Copies of this chain bind each other. A is one copy, B any other.
């Protein structure tokens, strides 16, 4: 079982279950069968918390529903009737009774929470008869009609498929007609009118009368909840969050006795987190609405009151909530996200689930819950998915920019970002697909906007609080979000703040950390790790076996990497140094050189510059290894493209005053043509260039040795390693090793001391994997280049595949993941295994790392740990993630 509760429980599939469980009998650990909501209600009930009586129709029934062609299984409704009779006994109410009627909600709930993605019906059981019973029971006619119109609208939309807009229009029209500014200003007569119009609307839209038989209502509602499991937005969500059938398969339907937050007087409904989900601070965090039903809070229709207010308005209720929070946290070992309703002064718990938090909150709660004795260190590490840390190091507004904000809202999900304003989700998706950065700006968001969230850089809403749909979803995705920004007015394809008008397509910047909105693109800067993160990662370091190094090509990158915990540089690309503006012209001279002598002149200039680069980076990392890769890209990458050169030729004056330039461009064009390749990925690059132009590698090796020697003289402890790219055979390494040995001897003679530099190779060509034993005879270390290795293994060109068939392959389930993001364990992983085994057969202590993108991917890191690599190397900002993932891999070995 999974103590973190963040993954599905491991209950065996073969067990046979009942179709229906009451909250006091269901096994709360079995989320897969009962769904998260049902399981939470069972747990709470069995912990003795105030939960309205209710029952769960299992996910297993949902699956039978689909097997049965979308119909409820035979006999199910007989069981439901039996259960409802028991519920009537428990509540002392009568379902469909004209006296003291029992009303219920029918709520969806899958094993994995998908907030707002599936359907729920409230207030079910109402008809003209039971309505009178409700009036009598509550003594509040307006409440009863308000409940009835809510029921017709929700049932009409969710179960009967009537467009929600049509209901809203009728309701708004009624409010307008009677001068009601807010929903609660519409009184009984108005609501009666609305009820009749709603019924007529349903009849018009569906051709049938609104069903009045409560059991028919119930049957239809259960089927609708099951159906919503396969609704489009639900399927999209599962694909996006990789919720596969083994994690959650079907939804349960929960039938819960209604309690009413929309009664007059001491009634309210709220949503609360046991800790602040944006910061992790230990305090109740959330909102409530008096005289409202739960959906009003979540949907963000009315701006609710912050939960602190409840402490004053209802001190006893607040205190009870605090106690319940504490109990639930210690039980679940996770901060909880609670729904509650107070009906006439009495508190009922309607839901508990593990709180979705952003990474900062996850980290802080992890560290604090260890200190509170709730979690062990191992548990605190394992409860955080390494991917979550990616959003942790959020970019923030550069303080030097001192921008002027145009509006403020609620800081719902941290981080600063910019993009073009769009006002609907489809447009966001359309522009996103073409690579544009967009900010989705909405009055409020609804579950059907989910595709717009995926496409957007950030979200800005006019209404809603920290628990509104927009806030919850944005936090889940780690995207900056500002909600409840009532300063802005949205209408007709633009929004305005005072005199300022922002049109669709204009760029704005939002800062979800403090809720600010700015015009235009504001510069942002890199984040700093929090003290909690630093502490957590120190714990992770104690558990992990795998080393973590960084990819960095500059002294600044090296310093950042050290600060974030890198134990060395696993990949220092020398070609980036070639591309610097002061170098490129020399590199071009070198490439265009007609003779070896000309080439040597250019190389001599580069030697001095590269030596300085290496000195700086080796100094920044002193005492830690720095793996310097010799030149890798094909030479044509340093030249302009043929097309660019042809353009330049065209632009030259016709009369030929620029004879010198003309000749240079023509020479360059010839060289570009000579160097052009049909498949550059598989072309003249890496060690192939190093062998055909040995003077280039010789220059680089000399720069490394000289830099090392000079640093040693200065008392610094440089630890360079020389790495050869694109090696396919031992025979390619021999001449490079000869160069290294020759240069070593020269420099040692010059400086009169010994210089020891490890010599190794990338393993990024398939052939190197299967011949790794022979290569290990020459190499002191290996470093997997799994991007190239993946290309060679699949015969996929990454550039082409990701734009062409790869998305199709993933959609069609041919690939479960993009192999360029997550290592393909069965193909590439197998080759790596062969390489490790062959390499260590020759040198049992062979240092073997991985550099490149996969080195910062948690699943890939797990595989690297399994393959017994020495270290992973990734970009500096992924170092924290990699440290955590490495600890996970150790704590949860395959």
Whether B797 pairs with A683 at a CB distance below 8 angstroms is yes
- 15 A-B pairs, CB-CB below 8 angstroms? A677-B804, A681-B681, A682-B801, A684-B804, A691-B808, A728-B827, A729-B815, A729-B827, A731-B814, A732-B814, A766-B831, A767-B793, A767-B827, A788-B795, A792-B795
Distance between A717 CB and nearest chain B CB, rounded to angstroms:
36
Q: For the complex formed, measure the closest distance between the CB of A632 and the CB atoms of chain B, giving whole angstroms.
A: 12
Asked if A679 is at the interface of the complex by the 8 Å CB criterion, the answer is yes
Question: Which among A679, A692, A791, A793 has the highest number of chain B CB atoms within 10 Å?
Answer: A679
- B830, A682: Cβ atoms closer than 8 Å: no
Whether A128 sits at the interface, judged by CB under 8 Å, is no
Q: Is A813 an interface residue (CB 8 A)?
A: yes
**Is B691 a contact partner of A800 (Cβ separation < 8 A)?**
no
Per assembly, the copies of the chain total 2
Per-residue B-contact encoding for A721-751, CB less than 8 Å = 1, 0 else? 0000010110110010000000000000000
Q: What separation, in Å, do the CA atoms of A792 and B731 have in the docked complex?
A: 19
A732 to chain B, nearest CB (A): 6
- Check if A799 is an interface residue, CB within 8 A of chain B: yes
State the CA gap A809–B727 with chains docked (Å).
13
The 6 A-B residue pairs with the shortest CB-CB distance, nearest first, are: A679-B797, A682-B797, A767-B827, A679-B681, A679-B679, A770-B830
Rounded to whole angstroms, the CA-CA distance of A327 and B828 in the bound complex is 63
* Chain B residues, Cβ within 8 Å of A691: 805, 808-809, 812, 814
Q: Contact between B682 and A795 (Cβ–Cβ < 8 Å)?
A: yes
Per-position binary interface string of chain A over residues 647-691, scored 1 when its CB falls under 8 Å from any chain B CB and 0 otherwise: 000000000000000000000000000000111111110001001
* A692-B808, A814-B691, A827-B767 known; A791-B682 Cβ under 8 A: yes
Q: Among the listed B764, B767, B799, B809, which residue makes an inter-chain contact with A678, where contact means beta carbons less than 8 Å apart? A: B799
Neighbour of A766 across the interface among B681, B692, B795, B799, CB < 8 A: B795
User: Is A499 located at the chain interface by the 8 A CB criterion?
Assistant: no
Q: Does A339 contact B (CB under 8 A)?
A: no
Given A766-B831, A771-B826, A808-B692, decide whether A796 and B682 contact each other with a Cβ distance below 8 A: yes
- Residues of B with C-beta under 8 A to A684: 800-801, 804-805
Within 8 A of B (CB), among A691-736: 691-692, 726, 728-729, 731-732, 735
Contact in complex: A678, B678 (CB < 8 Å): no
Separation in Å of the A631 CB from the closest CB of chain B?
Answer: 14
Does A794 contact B765, Cβ atoms closer than 8 Å?
yes
What residues of B have a CB within 8 angstroms of the CB of A814 in the complex?
Answer: 691, 729, 731-732, 735
Interface assignment of A567: CB less than 8 Å from any CB of chain B: no
Tell me the complex Cα distance, A797–B728, Å.
Answer: 13
Interface centre among A682, A774, A804 (most CB of B within 10 A): A682
Q: Known interface pairs A691-B805, A805-B692, A814-B731. Does A800 touch B683 (Cβ–Cβ under 8 Å)? A: yes
Determine the chain B residues whose CB is within 8 A of the CB of A813 once the complex forms: 731
Decide if A429 is an interface residue (CB 8 Å cutoff): no
Closest to A814 in B: B731
What CA separation (Å) do A764 and B792 show in the bound complex? 11
User: Cβ of A824 < 8 Å from any Cβ of B?
Assistant: yes
- Taking a contact as CB atoms under 8 Å apart, the answer to whether B688 and A805 are in contact is yes
What distance in Å separates the Cβ of A642 from its nearest Cβ neighbour in chain B?
A: 11
Alpha-carbon gap, A728 to B790, bound state (A): 11
One digit per residue, 1 when the CB lies within 8 angstroms of any chain B CB and 0 when it does not, for chain A 749-774 equals 00000000000000011110011001
Smallest distance from the beta carbon of A764 to chain B beta carbons, Å? 8
Contact indicator B683/A681 (Cβ below 8 Å): no
Q: How far is the CA of A688 from the CA of B800 in the complex (A)?
A: 12
Starting from the known contacts A681-B797, A682-B801, 7 additional A-B residue pairs (CB-CB under 8 Å) come to A682-B682, A683-B801, A684-B801, A688-B809, A767-B828, A770-B793, A792-B793
Nearest residue, chain B, Cβ from A808: B692
A804-821 vs B, Cβ < 8 Å mask (1 yes, 0 no): 110011001111000000
Q: Is the Cβ of B680 less than 8 Å from the Cβ of A681?
A: no
Nearest CB in chain B: distance from A443 CB, A: 38
Interface centre among A691, A731, A827 (most CB of B within 10 A): A827
Q: Which residues of B contact A679 (CB under 8 A)?
A: 679-682, 797, 799-800
List residues of chain B with CB within 8 A of the CB of A678. Answer: 680-681, 797, 799-800
Bound complex: CA of A138 vs CA of B92, how far in Å? 145
Please, which residues of chain B bring their CB within 8 A of the CB of A682? Answer: 679, 681-682, 791, 795-797, 800-801
State the CA gap A682–B766 with chains docked (Å): 14
A796 to B788 CA separation, bound complex (whole angstroms): 12
Q: Measured between alpha carbons, how far is A355 from B293 in the docked complex, in Å?
A: 105
Cα distance, A815 to B794, chains bound together (Å): 25
Q: Which residue of B lies closest to A765 (CB)?
A: B795
A683 partner residues in chain B, CB cutoff 8 A = 797, 800-801, 804
Interface string of A336-379 (1 = CB under 8 A from B): 00000000000000000000000000000000000000000000
Contact of A795 among B728, B801, B831 (CB under 8 A): B728
